[in-house]
Structure formats: C-alpha cells, structure tokens
Structure 1
C-alpha cells in the first residue's frame, strides 16, 4: 500500500485548544497526510475558544479540566458518539499522542478490532512531579507509561536521544524517530529587527539571553532565574527577553523584574522575537525534542541547554552551543557569560547552528512517520502481533 490507502484515527489530549509544540507538530502532520491523499479523523477535547483552527476533521471527546491547570483538559472516556464515528470512519491504523484515559481506550479499541496502534511521545511526563514536590511519584508514572506503550505496535520519538531513553526504559520493542521540522520562511536571521529591540528598551550592544516557551514550572523557570541571578552577581552585561505565556508568568516576572516579557508570539512576530535574541537559554529537561531550540538555531543563535533528551540531539557542545549538567547553576552562568562577552564565539556558534538547522524540513520528517505507518500495517498483514513485554 501507499499513503493514499491510509485511514488514520488520531487521538490527542490537546489538538488545538491550547497552542504548544506538540500539537503544532500534529496539525502539520495531519495537513501533510491530507495533501498526500490519506484519510484522517482526529479525536480530542474541544473548547469554545480554541487557540487555532484545526487541520482536518476534529471530533470532540468528553473531557474535564485538569485540577490546578484548568487551561488543559483530560479526555476521560470514549463516548458512544466517538465509537460510532470510529465505526463509520473505518480506520486501518490508530495513532495515540498522549497516555491519557482516552489514549488507553483508543489502544484497547484498536487491539479489540485487530488494528495496529502507533504512539508518538511528545514530553517526559514522568519528570513533571519533581517540579511540584512529588518526585517520589516518578517511578510509578514511568511504570504506568511502560504499560501503555507496550500495548502499542510501535512508538516514535522526536529525537534519537529520546528514542534511546525509551529503549533504556523498556517502553517498546519498536522505537522509531519522528523528528520536527522548521519553517524557514519564519525563522531566519533576516527577521532580526533592531528598531523592535530598541522599542523594548534593549540597546544595540546589549547581549540578549532569550527564553521561548510556555511559562510553566516544568520548563525549568527556577533554574533559569537562579542562573540569571548568578550572572548578574558576576557583573556580566546582559538583557533577558522572555517570549511566551502561561500560569507561572507572574512568578517568573517577580523573579526577573528586569526582564522584558513580550507575551505570546506567533508567525512572523515570533520569528522577529527569536532573531532579536543573541542566544537561547533552555534549561528544561522535560522536552523530547526542543522545537524552540531548532527555531533559535535557524535564526543563527547559539544555545545553552541542559544536557537532556532533545537538546542532546540538536546542540553540538562547543560547536553550536553548550550542553550543561541539569540544574548546574554556576556552569550555566559561566556558559552564558562566555557568549555575552565574546561576540566572535557567539557568531561562530550561531553560524554552525544555522548549518545544522538546514537539515530539518517538515515534509521529510513527516514522510518518515508515514513510512512507519505503512511498515506497521504491512507487518500486521503478515501476521506480526504486538508484544506486550520487551525483554529486560
């Protein structure tokens, strides 16, 4: 078979009601499938005020707000309406993008109907409890994730470093790569606008340290702010530019009273904001890829990042940026100080970053997932069955 024979039922915990890197990738992929002649049906929670229009046909799944994070919703069951829609659609593959209750039901439905199931991994859920004083739950969550992913025919990760971690955690026999692409019309050095920087109170010779992303604690906001405090104590000249919104904005603003907060940006405005930085600081360890890191690289910026999944596959230490042990405040500050005080080193790392980013095109990376779909369907047709327990 080829892509035109695909009938994909995609289950997502957040397809378009809050914008994030994961659902942007899913929407791009659905649009790619549709352009190639595949049939796609998406099942996800919906709201009256979504962040953006969805790609493809979206069917609403019953959901409830996440306690303490009401902007997010948990799809808690597969309703009769969803089941009827599935039967009418007649998928030949089920794709689950979140290990939530609906995702579990979708995998069970696929197994019951003899259909292959593929799961995409978008974040390191097992690391979230540590940011809320519940680190003791991490082994429990990892065990639950393992049970979920082992019931799928294959899983795909957005980076080789994340794929290797999933193998080490024994999540699946079949771990592939579905990486991320970059929109080069939006992210390139030509977006740099010095007049815009000046309007924010940033001098032309101010080295700008940037943060891009949703403002939530699991993005490492505490490490970021502690590092900036350390940098200030070293009397290193710099400015901090924060691009994004989220529930921790006020906390972050209180910790960094001298930072410039632009709020949420998208499209050309986001490209201008990223290109207006001189380096990206990404201390998060929860990313499985790091879309923002790739966007910064395409704009010619060096990145100082935690040595963690995602970043390890993008940042070449000492070439396109620096990889630092997670939480190492002093080492983070030293790396940022080096780029703040040495424009030549900054420019060299930025040029290397641009070269690296040129390897990532959306059509190429999306076709890799299409190829995985077709391979898994063919394996099922030849009698291969999902194995629930990889060898330790």
Structure 2
C-alpha cells in the first residue's frame, strides 16, 4: 500500500499522539508499505530514516506557539497527485485535515482518521464552553465522511457513538518495552534530584490548564504543609505555558523540561508514583509508559487514563478534581508497602502484553481491506462503463 499521512505535528516525542504516529509509520514500513507524511510542524535537521516528510507552510497558533497552524497549498495537491496514495490517514481533523479528507473523497480514495485528542474538552478551561457544541458538530461531519474512525479505547468509542459518529474501530496503543523498563532506574539521577530515601512522585506531560495541573500543585501544597514534606520529591517532566507559574508554586519540585531518547524512560524508572489527574486524555500514553517503568498510577475517573488503570489493576482511579483523594492515594503508596509492590507487579505484567507490533498489525490489516475493496469497486466501475 501507499499511505499518505497527515499529522498536525510530526516532531518526535513531542506528545503522546506523535509517539503513536511514529510507531504506526514504523510498523507500516516494516511490513513493506510506502508512507509519505505531511505536517506543518516537523523536526528540523531530521532525515526521518529516509521517510518522505513534507513540511507545510505554517504560522504559530496564538496563545499556543508550540504548535503550528498549517496551510494546504497547490504544491501539497501536486505532491499528493505524484505520490498517488492508496489510502489517506488523517491524525488531526483541523483545516488541513479537512483538505486531505476532501482530496481523498474527490479521488475516491479510502480515508481513515484517528481520534487522538479530545479538543472540545479543552474549551471549558479557557471559558469557551459555548464552542463545544459547534466543535462536535464539525467533528461529527468530519468523521462520518471517513471510511474508518480509530478510537483508542471503548470509552472513547462510546463517546464518539454518542455523537452519531459511525464506522468506529479500536486502535489501542502500545509501549516500547525495550525503552521503558524498570531496570533503567538510576540512583545517580535520584541523588541529583535530592530524592535519596524519598518517594518520588512523577508528573509527565504538557504544563497547561487542561491537564489539570492545578490538582498537581494542590497535592504538592498538601505535602509541603504537612508532616510528610521531607519524605517526598515531586519531579515534573515536560514544559508548557504554565511552567513559570508552576515553578513559583512548587519551589521544592524538580523540573526536568522535555526529555527524549533514553533520558525519559530513565526519569520514569527513577520515580516511584505516577500522578496524572488530567480528565482530557483520549488514551493516556504517559500512564502506560509509567506502568512499563514500574510506577503505579494515580489518575482521574474521567478520560482515557481510567481505562488503563482499570485494565491493568495497577493504580488508583480518583474522582476528577478531588484533591483530598489524590493526596490520600499518594499517601497510601508512600514507602515499600505490600500494596505498592502488588500494583507495581500488575503494571509490569500489563505492559508486557501491550506490544506495538500487535496493536498496529490490526490497523494495517484493516487498511489493506479498505484498499482492496476500493480497487474492486474501481474495477467494477470500469467494467460497467465499458459494458
């Protein structure tokens, strides 16, 4: 197959969605399929191991400069025509994603889209709740014009179906067990964090309001103002527009900035508890990475993180926004308790079963079916015309 893939960003390790896209592209190529990627946000100076990656014209998104607003041009159309894809995969249903969808529909090319991010759920954090209805109206139109919509889990499938979206199938997420492994734990790194003899509570993700960082900061306050202040160390992995505010409110926490390569799994494995209260996750790759690194997780009961915690039995699910409960569950895991070891063992066992090859193999097989069906339909149209 020849797969044309559009992604709003194609910068390695930038977020969970991009990690999934990179793994999917890798799986396509390992199976001998050809892939070409288009994105307005591409890693500079990276040859992408010989993969064709087209950088599209773009400008920074206001109030969110780490991401780009791109433009579909006549040159993009010529590039697509020259590549002549058998199927189009759209990872971001934005303005460019809409253009890719219309291109595919006009050419009678099968098109699939993956639901990576619950964008409408962000609006309430910026007092834009009035826009939620309009956003879902557009997304329903967008996804119902795709041959297949890939949801990361059953909870997202149910949510999409509730908006009358059709043709939904499950594309879960895997984890690279060679990369994320508890054996990467580093006492040297823990010493640099001044965490020797302490329980390290890790957060990993964007420092933005819609990740419910207010809960993280409030849990930190509870610890720092109580009797356990000298028994914990908070390690914040990531970056974002709220970083300076978080540093101001969490002066005793360690801020690592974005970590990539082997530095990220080393930081995970050098922690003890993964605290991630976000309610806006579609899947929650970071929770799966934490489990694979040996960390029990404490997550919200809203969003995709709950699915991972429930299926793995490797953590606690807390009512959204309940600081008291998040704090209490962190307390319950301080030290090397039997409960802590049980949760850790469950997480490691679950992660062992989540290989990317199995997860992505399903997608590849279904895409091949769509392509074969489209080719048969094209042949039938030709025969009907000649007849």
> What is the TM-score with the length of structure 2 in the denominator?
0.91
Is residue 73 from structure 1 mapped to residue 68 from structure 2 by the alignment? Answer: yes
Match 1:210 to one of 202, 225, 228: 202
| Cα gap change, 1:52 to 1:197, in 2 (>3 Å) | farther
Q: C-alpha displacement at 1:342, in angstroms?
A: 6.1
Matched with 1:10 is: 5
Is residue 193 from structure 1 mapped to residue 214 from structure 2 by the alignment? Answer: no
Is the Cα–Cα contact under 8 Å of residues 213 and 244 in structure 1 kept in the other structure? Answer: yes
Question: Distance between the aligned counterparts of 1:339 and 1:201, measured in 2?
Answer: 20
Matched with 2:101 is: 107
Matched with 2:359 is: 365
More divergent stretch after superposition (189-198 vs 101-110): 189-198
Listed as ranges, the gaps of 5+ residues in structure 1 are 1-5, 385-392
Secondary structure in structure 1 of the residue aligned to 2:333? helix
Matched with 1:242 is: 236
Question: Distance between the aligned counterparts of 1:46 and 1:322, measured in 2?
Answer: 36
Is the Cα–Cα contact under 8 Å of residues 7 and 38 in structure 1 kept in the other structure? Answer: yes
Matched with 2:156 is: 162
Question: Deviation string for 1:36-73 (max 9, x for gaps)?
Answer: 111111111146x6395536201122222101112211
Matched with 1:265 is: 259
Question: Deviation string for 1:159-191 (max 9, x for gaps)?
Answer: 2222222222322x2111222211112211111
Question: Distance between the aligned counterparts of 2:148 and 2:303, measured in 1?
Answer: 19
Secondary structure in structure 1 of the residue aligned to 2:310? coil
More divergent stretch after superposition (78-87 vs 374-383): 374-383
Secondary structure in structure 2 of the residue aligned to 1:81? helix
Is the Cα–Cα contact under 8 Å of residues 12 and 22 in structure 2 kept in the other structure? Answer: no
Question: Distance between the aligned counterparts of 1:182 and 1:347, measured in 2?
Answer: 21
Matched with 2:14 is: 19
Is residue 145 from structure 1 mapped to residue 139 from structure 2 by the alignment? Answer: yes
Q: CA RMSD in A?
A: 2.1
Question: Deviation string for 1:342-379 (max 9, x for gaps)?
Answer: 62211111111101111111111111111221232344
Listed as ranges, the gaps of 5+ residues in structure 2 are 379-387
Q: C-alpha displacement at 1:153, in angstroms?
A: 0.9
| Cα gap change, 1:53 to 1:238, in 2 (>3 Å) | farther
Is residue 117 from structure 1 mapped to residue 111 from structure 2 by the alignment? Answer: yes
Matched with 2:381 is: none
Is the Cα–Cα contact under 8 Å of residues 306 and 326 in structure 1 kept in the other structure? Answer: yes
| Cα gap change, 1:17 to 1:238, in 2 (>3 Å) | closer
| Cα gap change, 1:112 to 1:13, in 2 (>3 Å) | same
Question: Distance between the aligned counterparts of 1:153 and 1:321, measured in 2?
Answer: 36
Question: Distance between the aligned counterparts of 1:248 and 1:51, measured in 2?
Answer: 28
Q: C-alpha displacement at 1:110, in angstroms?
A: 0.7
> What is the TM-score with the length of structure 1 in the denominator?
0.90
Secondary structure in structure 2 of the residue aligned to 1:315? helix
Is the Cα–Cα contact under 8 Å of residues 227 and 332 in structure 1 kept in the other structure? Answer: yes
Q: C-alpha displacement at 1:17, in angstroms?
A: 7.6
